[in-house]
């Protein structure tokens, strides 16, 4: 996966995500989706934003802290945190598509 994030003026790369970590992401994303769909406001709760930040740090191998991630000057803003959390799934899908394309090219060329 080629996800990158800039925190505290440093660029961090998300390394290969294990299946266990991805399943943890899916579980958290499903919990957040279910909770927000049940609320009239559809807004995220404080606990959900905190869980997103913790998971973003984990997904990037704890190369930065939650405090660094949410720092008003050098971290992500609220929208950036929500977007980054949701882009984890998009990153997995992009990686899957790249691998499928490569397999198709190899299959078509007889490799």
Predicted confidence (pLDDT) per residue in 47-84, tens digit: 999 999 999 999 999 999 999 999 999 999 999 999 99
pLDDT of residue 96: 86
Q: Indicate the burial class of 95 (C-beta count within 10 angstroms; 0-12, 13-18, 19 or more).
A: middle
Please name which of 12, 16, 10 lies closest in space to residue 84, comparing C-alpha atoms. Answer: 12
Domain ranges of the chain: 4-108
What is the model's pTM? 0.85
Q: Rounded to whole angstroms, how far apart are CA atoms 42 and 56?
A: 21
Predicted confidence (pLDDT) at residue 86 exceeds the cutoff of 70: yes
Given phi > 0 = left and psi -120 to 50 = alpha, else beta, which region is 83?
alpha
Predicted confidence (pLDDT) at residue 93 exceeds the cutoff of 90: no
Residue of higher predicted confidence among 104 and 8: 8
In eight-state DSSP terms, residue 39 is S
pLDDT of residue 91: 84
């Amino acid at each position: 996966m080629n996800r990158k994030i800039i925190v505290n003026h440093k660029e961090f790369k998300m390394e290969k995500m294990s299946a266990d970590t991805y399943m943890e992401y899916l579980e958290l994303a499903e919990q957040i989706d279910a909770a927000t769909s049940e609320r009239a406001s559809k807004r995220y709760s404080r606990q959900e934003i905190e869980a997103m930040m913790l998971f973003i740090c984990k997904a990037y191998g704890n190369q930065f802290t939650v405090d660094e991630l949410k720092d008003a000057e050098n971290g992500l803003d609220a929208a950036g945190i929500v977007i980054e959390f949701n882009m984890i799934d998009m990153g997995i899908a992009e990686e899957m598509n790249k691998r499928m394309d490569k397999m198709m090219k190899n299959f078509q060329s007889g490799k």
